[in-house]
Amino acid sequence: MTLWLGEGPSRLPGYATHQVGVAGAVFDEDTGKILVVQDRNKTKNAWKFPGGLSEPGEDIGDTATREVLEETGIRSEFKALLSIRQQHGSPDAFGKSDMYMVCRLKPLSFRISFCPHECLRCEWMALTDLAKARQTTPVTRRVARLLLYGHREGFDKVDLTVRELPAVYRGLSYKLYHRDLPERYENMSGMD
């Protein structure tokens, strides 16, 4: 293997440099309510979206729905990626940089049965109240405003949807998150 790498400095990648945290913004469009929790740990008394660390080989949408179910008992469905935060030097990131992603989820159940080991409280809150709340994290407040904008003006303005595409490696695929393309660009046959 070292022959393949050649002479000079090693081209072997270092150890993992980031941890990946994912939260689920479970929004019920019919009632205008969003699922929020108060953490038992670092953000006590601050409303936030349920979430946690992604497991190796786990897609971010799957992480979001799993974490929401574990923390709140609510089943949900991935709709889109809403935001990505990158942070360095966080004391609780085990010496890694931190990527934190918030996904928009659709609720499939509504009865809360929260995990008392992780959460102090859990409830369905009016999205407009969360967007104005002072007792929340800056990320939560910002994403709540993004959701409110999407709900009022169309989620196509805020969502990063996912497409599974074939990888250059035979038999593999990957997920690409991006804003939706108009159909004429999606199917470019016959375009100049």
pLDDT in tens, 83-113: 999 888 888 777 888 899 999 999 999 999 9
Residue numbers in the chain where pLDDT is lower than 70: 1-15, 43, 189-192
Q: Which residues are catalytic?
A: 70
Q: What is the pLDDT of residue 10?
A: 60
State the DSSP H helix or E strand holding residue 33, giving kind and residue range, or none if neither: strand 33-39
Fold of 18-108+117-157: Nucleoside Triphosphate Pyrophosphohydrolase (3.90.79)
DSSP 109-127: -------TTTEEEEEEEEH
Q: What is the pLDDT of residue 1?
A: 47
- Listed by start position, the domains of the chain span 18-108+117-157
Whole-angstrom distance between the N-terminal and C-terminal Cα of the chain?
47
Q: What is the pLDDT of residue 191?
A: 52
